[in-house]
Structure 1
Amino acid sequence: MMIEQSKSKRMEIKQNMRGGKGDIEITHITNNEILGKNCRLFAQITVKPGDSIGEHQHINEREVFYFLQGKGIVIDNGKEAEIGPGDVMVTPDQSSHSVINTGDEDLVFMALILNENA
């Protein structure tokens, strides 16, 4: 059994992430050694009101978002959808997406990036 205490989590700020707007807060749930070869990222992401993550493509991987708090718009391969708590978005291999916080509170979600060819 392995337990990682909350104080051991690594947090980083990415400015204008992927061509988006604002400071995006990424709290890594665990490190890549623990995740293994099939998973590149497991993190909680916070997007402030009015901020965004710009459009980007995933090659040889898929990304899953689970939205915890706030509301916003996601654009996946040109298709726009409103999202909120409890919603899940899956961006498959060779697809692109972006996220915009359209609400008046933080948009918080879990992000999991899985390697397709591991």
Structure 2
Amino acid sequence: MSKIKNIFRAEYFLEKSHNGIGALEKVRVFEKEDFKTKIDFIDYVIVQPDHTIGYHQHSENEEIYFILKGSSSMITGGETVKICKGDVIINECGESHGLINNSEEPMEIFIFQVSK
């Protein structure tokens, strides 16, 4: 297993996320088997305008969203917040969250998931 991956040379696949609207363009950069720690995966995701990551909850893990490009609205911690390039969001265990790309530009995100 290579410890170096290039997201721009990887094969993308389309995925509907948590019953969201539209398909996300996604690369699974690393999987659980690639780590010695409790990291489940690292994904690179492109969310097109008017597409969403559906509102959902994780009970046994946390997700960290690192916004690389774009802006949108995110529901996290029971409130809707504006997020943009450079923001890092922690979605804690038991907390519901979702994302709506309500801008006119694609949004690029790294998503890290870590188990308890």
Q: Structure 1 length as normaliser, TM-score?
A: 0.87
Which secondary structure state, in structure 2, belongs to the residue aligned with residue 18 of structure 1?
coil
**Aligned position for 2:68:** 68
Contact 1:37 1:115 in 2 (8 A): no
- Hey, which bits of structure 1, 4+ residues long, moved more than 6 A? none
Please state which structure has a larger fraction of its residues in helix: 1
Which secondary structure state, in structure 1, belongs to the residue aligned with residue 33 of structure 2?
helix
**Aligned position for 2:108:** 108
**Aligned position for 2:81:** 81
Per-residue displacement from partner, 1:5-50 (whole Å, max 9, x unpaired)?
Answer: 43774532113x2121001111111233113450111011110001
Contact 2:32 2:38 in 1 (8 A): no
1:66 Cα offset (Å): 0.6
Q: Which amino acid aligns with 2:85?
A: P
Query: What's the Cα RMSD here?
Result: 2.0
Could you tell me how far apart the structure 2 residues matched to 1:20 and 1:49 are?
13
**Aligned position for 1:33:** 33
Unaligned runs of 5+ in 2: none
Q: Structure 2 length as normaliser, TM-score?
A: 0.88
1:102 Cα offset (Å): 1.1
Per-residue displacement from partner, 1:57-115 (whole Å, max 9, x unpaired)?
Answer: 01110000010111100001321000000001101111110001011111111100000
The total of aligned residue pairs comes to 115
In the superposition, relative to structure 1, how do residues 38 and 3 fare at CA in structure 2: closer, same or farther (>3 Å)? closer
Unaligned runs of 5+ in 1: none
**Aligned position for 2:24:** 24
Identity of aligned residues (%): 22
